[in-house]
Amino acid sequence: MTADEQITLWLAQLRAAGRGVLVARMVIAVAGIVALVVPAVQPWDQADLVPIAGAVLLVGTVVLPDSLAGMIFLFVVALGWLLRGPAAPSWGLVVTAAALVVVHLAAAFAGQMPSYARVHRAALRRWWLPGAIAVVLTPAVAVATALIRGADVPGSLLVTVAAITLTATTIWFTAGQTLGRD
Tens of pLDDT, residue by residue over 131-178, are 777 777 777 776 776 676 666 666 666 766 777 777 777 777 776 666
% of the chain beyond a pLDDT of 70: 85
Q: To 10 degrees, the CA torsion angle through 167, 84, 94, 170?
A: -10
**Which alpha helices (H) appear in the chain, and where do they start and end?**
3-16, 19-40, 49-63, 69-84, 91-110, 121-151, 156-174
Determine the pLDDT at residue 176.
67
Determine the pLDDT at residue 160.
67
Alpha-carbon separation of residue 35 from 64, 74, 141 (angstroms): 18, 9, 18
Q: What is the pTM of this model?
A: 0.74
Which one, of 66, 1, 2, lies nearest residue 28 by Cα?
66
Alpha-carbon separation of residue 168 from 8, 86, 134 (angstroms): 42, 26, 8
d(CA 16, CA 114): 11
Alpha-carbon separation of residue 80 from 37, 45, 58, 63, 124 (angstroms): 12, 10, 15, 23, 32
% of the chain beyond a pLDDT of 90: 20
Q: Kindly calculate the radius of gyration of the chain based on its CA atoms and give it in whole angstroms.
A: 18
Mean of pLDDT values over 73-90: 84
Which comes out higher in pLDDT, residue 80 or 140?
80
Mean of pLDDT values over 48-72: 91
